[in-house]
Homo-oligomer: A and B are copies of this chain.
Amino acid sequence: MDTQLDFLHLRRLGINTHQEPVVYMRQDCQVAISEGFYAHSRVEVHCADQSVIATLVLVCSELLSHEEAGLSEAAWHRLGCPADGEQARFHHARPVESMSFVRGKLYGQRFNDESAKAIIEDIKAGHYSDIQLSAFVTACAGDRLDLDETIAITRAMVSSGQRFDWSSDKVLDKHCVGGLPGNRTTPIVVAIVAANGLLMPKTSSRAITSPAGTADTMESMTTVTMTFEHMRDVVEQEGGCLAWGGSVSLSPTDDIVIRVERALDLDSEGQLVASVISKKVAAGSKQVLIDIPVGPTAKVRSQSMAQTLKQLLEKTGAALGLDVRTIITDGNQPIGRGIGPALEARDILQVLRNDGHAPQDLREKSLQLAGIMLEMGEKAAVGQGYALAQRTLLDGRAMDKFKAICLAQGGFMEPPVAEFTHCIHAQHSGVVAYFNNRFIARLASLAGAPNAKAAGIELHVTLGDEVEAGAPLFTLHAEAPGELAYALDFLDGHTDVIRIEEQMV
């Protein structure tokens, strides 16, 4: 062996490994052999003046030549999007030092400002592999983060990202702990609050496993992917915005952690609180209203869990300089008729337009939340917020503000309508007794939401309604017949999506 190849030519493979950078290499290539790489080594890749720590996946086929290394999308982006064929060097990555704090936590030590900062910075830099993220999330699971640790992690998350600083000291925000289909109050609340001269720089998330996030819903009417500067301009001009949080780099580690939590179906009260509060602080908010729906298939299932969460949210908020108020609401059934981006958007527009067919539960809840926020922002005396919110809606100023925000973000369009629909009817008469929120969300996803914007479910009944046999219960909406068929298949095996109980005399 006279010549030695100590570099490989990069090739973008177009493989989506989420935030975890992955590099692919033949197990019998010179670099893998001479570096002593084993499967799932953590390796450092250097290309020009960029570098990334990646997980190594070995290949035993002709997928790659002996001179090539493949890059996942995350690795390719972190290396500055190198052209195919560029040379890169590889060596073993040093162990991630902040993992020692995660190990310490497992042995009974507690996180403090220093360790929280080290961990969050390493996660942001992409230094944690997926299994390391899983270990961190597991170490924080349940009630294992106390108040001080939650505050430390929240602070670290805020300082890891960009942060808005507004001139006003009345900067409102709201958040819903979630788990309820529909419940898309945010756009209505932002419109009412901003129409009354308060600032409300709202960022929202996209759906990961649910049929729609607020960002998905808004995207059926306007642009939500905005730069930090664009969002600032919109808020300075209109008082409010409805941006996708992922595009403005507030608390950037949050999405990474949430993805792993969801994959593990593991909740951490401390992480939840750090996630919510860090995003509000980074958005420059000062008064925050948090809606905690409680119900058997919602995220929070008991009043005692809601009380614990309320305490942790308020105290962590206070430590970070926020005035946090919480409201515990009914999480027994969906709010509004639509589930899915465009169907939820239609509900929102009906409320804003004072349409006689607007879903009253969505309208009521939006007015209630907006009313409290107008009081928090001192635009209404205590007890007068609801009336002011109602006037703002009735006189059209809320709709005008909503449209103005959409135009500032990039334009306004009516949400699309699905081409394929199918109505499900009651099999017998009785009273609507139970909504399985999880099945409803699943059905809407199967029908194509949120990727197919017009897809989802339109509900025709609410809890307590009396229905006759044959009365419509809900309609499936899909953009393609295959997706519609798929949702119908699910219904074959799951009849108890909405339960009708025969009335007792």
Measured CB to CB, the residues of A under 8 A from B are 1, 4, 6, 12-18, 24, 27, 30, 33-36, 38-40, 57-63, 73, 95, 99, 103, 106-108, 129-135, 137-139, 141-144, 208-209, 259-260, 263-266, 445-446, 448, 451, 480-483, 485-486
Q: What 4 additional pairs, Cβ within 8 angstroms, besides A13-B63, A14-B62, A107-B143?
A: A15-B59, A15-B63, A30-B482, A38-B209
Could you tell me if A263 and B129 are in contact, using CB atoms closer than 8 angstroms? yes
A379 to B73, CA, bound (A): 63
**Which B residues are CB-close (under 8 A) to A35?**
446, 486
Could you tell me if A264 and B99 are in contact, using CB atoms closer than 8 angstroms? yes
CB A436 to nearest CB in B, in angstroms, measures 16
Could you tell me if B265 and A103 are in contact, using CB atoms closer than 8 angstroms? yes
**Which B residues are CB-close (under 8 A) to A34?**
480, 482-483, 486
A155 to B97, CA, bound (A): 36
**Which B residues are CB-close (under 8 A) to A39?**
16, 18
Could you tell me if A61 and B14 are in contact, using CB atoms closer than 8 angstroms? yes
Could you tell me if A14 and B448 are in contact, using CB atoms closer than 8 angstroms? no
A171 to B73, CA, bound (A): 54
A106-B141 in contact given A34-B482, A131-B260, A131-B264 (Cβ < 8 Å): yes
Could you tell me if A106 and B266 are in contact, using CB atoms closer than 8 angstroms? yes
Could you tell me if B106 and A142 are in contact, using CB atoms closer than 8 angstroms? yes
**Which B residues are CB-close (under 8 A) to A137?**
135
CB A134 to nearest CB in B, in angstroms, measures 4
The chain B residue sitting closest to A447, CB to CB, is B36
A448 to B1, CA, bound (A): 15
**Which B residues are CB-close (under 8 A) to A135?**
134-135, 137-138, 264, 266
Residue in B13, B17, B130, B208 whose beta carbon sits within 8 Å of that of A61 in the complex: B13
Residue in B103, B106, B131, B485 whose beta carbon sits within 8 Å of that of A131 in the complex: B131
A38-B106 in contact given A33-B448, A131-B260, A131-B263 (Cβ < 8 Å): no
Residue in B27, B61, B134 whose beta carbon sits within 8 Å of that of A12 in the complex: B61
Q: Is the interface of A mostly helix, strand, loop or mixed?
A: mixed
Could you tell me if A480 and B1 are in contact, using CB atoms closer than 8 angstroms? yes
Could you tell me if A14 and B60 are in contact, using CB atoms closer than 8 angstroms? yes
The chain B residue sitting closest to A264, CB to CB, is B135
Residue in B99, B142, B451 whose beta carbon sits within 8 Å of that of A33 in the complex: B451
Could you tell me if A24 and B30 are in contact, using CB atoms closer than 8 angstroms? no
CB A11 to nearest CB in B, in angstroms, measures 10
**Which B residues are CB-close (under 8 A) to A16?**
27, 39, 57-60
**Which B residues are CB-close (under 8 A) to A134?**
130-132, 134-135, 138
**Which B residues are CB-close (under 8 A) to A448?**
33, 36
**Which B residues are CB-close (under 8 A) to A30?**
482
- Can you report 20 A-B residue pairs in the complex whose CB atoms are below 8 A from each other? A1-B481, A1-B482, A4-B481, A4-B485, A13-B61, A14-B63, A15-B59, A15-B63, A16-B57, A18-B40, A33-B451, A34-B483, A36-B486, A40-B259, A40-B263, A95-B265, A129-B263, A131-B263, A132-B264, A134-B135
CB A187 to nearest CB in B, in angstroms, measures 24
A14-B99 in contact given A1-B481, A40-B263 (Cβ < 8 Å): no
The chain B residue sitting closest to A106, CB to CB, is B141
The chain B residue sitting closest to A4, CB to CB, is B482
Could you tell me if B106 and A138 are in contact, using CB atoms closer than 8 angstroms? yes
A38 to B13, CA, bound (A): 19
**Which B residues are CB-close (under 8 A) to A99?**
264-265
**Which B residues are CB-close (under 8 A) to A36?**
445-446, 448, 451, 486
CB A435 to nearest CB in B, in angstroms, measures 20
